[in-house]
Structure 1
Amino acid sequence: MEALLPESVFNLVKPGDTVILKPNWVMEGHKYRPDEWEYVITHPAVITAVLRHVLKRLCGSGRVVIIDGPTTEASFSKLIAHYPVSMWHEIAKASHVTLEVIDLREHEWETRNDIIVKRHELPGDPRGKTEVNLRDASSEFWGHQKSNRGYHGADYDRSETNRAHDGHHNLYRVSRTVIEGDVFINLPKLKTHRKAGITCCLKNLVGINTYKNYLPHHSEGGPSEGGDQFPVDNVNARIEGPLMAFLKRHVLRNPLLARLLSPFNTLGKQIFGDTRQVVRSGNWYGNDTIWRMILDLNKVLFYANPDGSLREGTLVNAKRYIGIVDGILAGEGHGPLAPDPVEMGYLFCGTNPVAIDAVCASFMGFDPLKIPSISRAFQVSQYPLCDFNLDDVRVTVGEGEFPLANLPAELIVPCEPQFGWKGHIERQDEAHAPQD
């Protein structure tokens, strides 16, 4: 694995640096097949190979932190059991480099039938958190009209999410360790994503948050309310949405009541439909909220100082960045928590998240410009994430190099989109159609 990674991509790492490795540790395993995990989270071999390259570049001086904030209902102890943590510490010690492995979360939940029944406080980032406020036009939420019921975050308290994003202020609470780091190495697992189309480098930054209820995932309601929670004003939008909002705010926040009511969630699925068949919670191509949060987080990574202030918004001031995407065994369909495996056989490497995501989407058989987090990234004006357009992106595979627009059809490994995105993000041009 180590030999597959180009040495040149690690030239950004200098002796004495603090280097952050950020895998995708979203969950310990598949949501419905918990014993399966190799196509859900970043493979141990990828992290180990990257770590060895970084240790060589540090030359016995510096620090490495392997870090993530999994989904709050994940068990970190079960997740980390998949990884050779003892070996990582041994090879770092032999290289005279400090190594830490950190769960960034401030809370871990126990759930039953998708209902939170118990909450545990966690220490989080030992160096604390950095709160960043992207005001007005510095945020991609500037000018966005949220629905009458507002944004939905990651917890039952919707009012907290909406106070954090009030039309002028946009608050993000992220790891201070990440912000203080000299080099950020993003190590996502390539998968489809029910809310964002795909999850790759850009989306993987959700994991740098220490507190996720500040993150708007969708706008409540259907089209008539100005929301993107549901694609149409059907019975789910008219009844299920308001009912669940009421229960979350007034009932399910009580752990005892949550335990008592959790069995009834099965009845709710029978009445309103299972999420694997019914579009809800912004799980579709019309989600106009989540891409804004994703791009804001990338601005925070690139430009934020540890005290929450922002550096001058030009790319020369951005944090040093490397992206290495685990696409050897990728995920399609109901990503990110319940995908099906796809044997792609690729590692994708680069130094800009927008270019990497555009390349990865193309190799999956998707049109990057139909995925909002990618297409909108090219249009960011304040605190830009790139200084090129899609036509400038070039791909090197083996000995060949070519523009992304001329990606050979035989290199594409078509992936099934999540059903809320199917028919809306696939490449349509015959020149890139896969060959029989």
Structure 2
Amino acid sequence: MVGQPSYPPRHGLPATRGRRAGAAVSDTEPVPDAVSAIDAAIEAARSDLIALSHSLHAEPELAFVEFRSAAKLVDLLRGRGFEVRTPVADLATAFVADYGSGELIIGLCAEYDALPGIGHACGHNIIAAAAVGAGIGLAAVADQLGITVRVLGTPAEESGGGKVLMLERGAFAGIAAALMVHPGPFDVVAPVSLALADLAITFTGQEAHASAAPEFGRNAGDAATIAQVAIGLLRQHLAPGQQLHGIVADGGRAPNIVPGQAELLYYLRAPSTAALDDLLDRATTCFLAGAVGAGCTHEIRSVSPTYRELVPDPILAQVYREQIGSLGRRPLAPDVERSRPLGSTDMGNITTVIPGIHPIIGIDTDGAVTHQPEFAVAAIGPSADRAVIDGARALARTVAQVAADPGQRDRLLAEAAERAG
């Protein structure tokens, strides 16, 4: 996830999807035998799952080049009887691993890309190991529950939108529900995220000698500066929840050369896709102002597909809250978790199409937040190892309870058929 949770009271409730939610799942556990089998299978795989998490952490790989990381997941899943297809969706480091033949297809999303310079400071090693663990747990009861367990290797969440590309290219076709779990300093069941646009803005001017012939130059660095000033002034007039933040990726080559090219990298975020579109319109005017003011031209391109906001399925979230609580965890109350967004994730695009959840599972970070080096250290500590196992158990138990509930099973199957049609 691109972002970090902290929870002072704030405004707003997230939008809800107009999906047929159906009746709530009973609080009484309907599949005790399945739960016991799930827990036993995950416990039997504990050492392999923890080793996977640590191995991914030791060899971090960036978006779309996670070859070693994907291979580690594939090898473990194949060894547990999953049928694996890779690559998929024209992505070299994406895969799909299936177990079972039930009509209800459940997707478990595994992320495994790292961050530049600070490795797994977002804890994707935990995400991947928990997804594999949940898959192993559900494989033990796939026939009993009448499900197909599908673990999806989804590259490039930090930048690149791997899930968006996989969704557009059919890798999520037929899936009735999609689940994953992400580490953070707190347990959060139904986090709020922001829609995100990932942009590169290139300004083009004219090089010249900065001392002998400056009048012949058109300073692309100045264009970037003007644009940044305009963005800074725009911030005071943003709607609640809208955000802009960026860096100078290229500001010139030498002080005595008028920069002929400069580049900004910016993230634009907003509580909804509609609010993001509004922000994009306003921000692009600021980039244009920089180019015009410095006598340059400019080009704006999308680095990643647009990330949509998370829309957690209320029933899946309710059941996950019960299951994570039964493991001794105490997630934030719903009114608190709705009070502040956590950043952005391409899982949002999945949840706007397919019933899904993206809960946060807490680890001990000693005050560190995601995208800090200290969080990367925490991501292989004892609490991180516990999060792998607890996350796998909670996800798998959630699927088992929903799959065994006739009303919810029918709902998920009906919606999957409607999407297919």
Considering fraction of residues, name the structure with more helix.
2
Q: What TM-score, normalized to structure 2?
A: 0.30
Considering fraction of residues, name the structure with more strand.
1
Bigger-Rg structure (1/2): 2
Q: Tell me: higher relative CO, structure 1 or 2? Use CA pairs within 8 A at least 6 residues apart.
A: 2
Q: What TM-score, normalized to structure 1?
A: 0.29
